[in-house]
Amino acid sequence: MLAILLITFPFFALVLCGYIAARRRMLPFEAIGGLNTFVLYFALPCMLYRFGASTPIAQLLDPAAVVVYLACALVMVAALVKFSMNARIRWNDAAFGALVGAFPNTGFMGVPLLVALLGAQAAGPAILTILVDLVITSSLCIALSRLDGADEHGAAEAAKKALKGMLVNPMPWAIVLGGVSSALQWKPIAPVMNTLGLLADAASPVALFTIGAVLARSQFLAAAQEHGPMPAADFVPVSVAKLVVHPLLVWGAGTLARMAGLPLDAFTLTVMVLVAALPSASNVSLLAERFGADTGRIARIILLTTATAFLTFSGAVALVR
């Protein structure tokens, strides 16, 4: 366990550094958008491309892994929406609560962390889960969030906006381009590849620092909008579901799939279980703010899962390795 903590500690320490820097205003809130842009549009796509290009194409096109992971994501979304709905939490807040409970922070944190723990071969299954969450899970939850609207076409319009957002998101395209490079055994000329490498090397530390800064900003903005304490029942159960139920669900579904003869590799299942054990994706708070959901609730879930995952994720690694 100590050996695992020695690997995971720097990743969570960088998140804490970003949180402190923003909380103490050493990093102005206005600068966080620039950091996020650098990570999302420059560094992270280069990292995903490099991992995708060096991963066998069969790992990036594993239908058994897609079926198991997607089925678990859909179950999580359905259960969390049903559990969350009440007189105060309607479709919009319930849908984004479900998204933050089913969408791990795989891009910003998971890929580099899993590669450090399990080796470069962990990148393929982890990247596959990113595609599922970006393309399907996010689009579904955004569409569900519009069911509160009077317009009967609200969900369809939201789905179109989600699809448009996915199309302009560089992360899926970087993964696709990396997969094509892997399939064709092609790579850019040395100067271009060296530039991509420099940006890819910057992705992990800057992304982790940015997670902390985004959490501090989200918490500050949410606190400014709230008029009283939020009931723990609004955010603690979703946090527990993310860190405990989600990985157990993936492990159970994957184990049953393997027993049923589905060609799911044991290592791939291990990676997917650890992906599910990651804290919630920090970019969900930005989506919630854009669609008018309760950002305070979302921020609390992300903050609680990120802080707690230092122990729970390390424990999951110890159990499945």
- Distances in whole angstroms, Cα of residue 63 to Cα of each of 51, 90, 252: 19, 34, 18
Q: What is the pLDDT of residue 162?
A: 63
User: Six-digit token pair at 71?
Assistant: 């089925």
- Please report the pLDDT score of residue 126 as a whole number: 95
Contacts of 32 (CB under 8 A, 6+ apart): 22, 210, 213, 214, 217
Separation between Cα atoms, residue 134 and residue 123, nearest integer Å: 16
Q: Residue 296: what pLDDT?
A: 85
**Tell me, what DSSP letter sits at residue 11?**
H
Query: Looking at residue 163, what is its pLDDT?
Result: 67
Give the pLDDT score at 8.
Answer: 93
In the chain, which stretches have pLDDT less than 50? 150
What residues make up the domain containing 269? 2-320
Q: In this structure, are residues 239 and 261 in contact, taking their beta carbons and an 8 Å threshold? A: no
* pLDDT value of residue 315: 94
Contact status, residue 27 vs residue 21, Cβ threshold 8 Å: yes
Q: Which helix (H) or strand (E) holds 117?
A: helix 111-118
* Predicted pLDDT at 220: 85
The CATH number that applies at residue 246 is 1.20.1530.20
Q: Are the CB atoms for 253 and 315 separated by under 8 Å?
A: no
Q: What is the pTM of this model?
A: 0.89
How far, in Å, CA of 80 to CA of 95, rounded? 8
Q: For residue 104, what are the β-bridge partners?
A: 280
How many other C-beta atoms lie within 10 A of the C-beta of residue 173? Answer: 15
Token couple for 317: 């690694």
Tally of structural domains, the chain: 1
pLDDT, position 295: 84
Please report the pLDDT score of residue 59 as a whole number.
79
**Per-residue pLDDT at 161:** 66
Question: What is the structure's pLDDT at 99?
Answer: 95
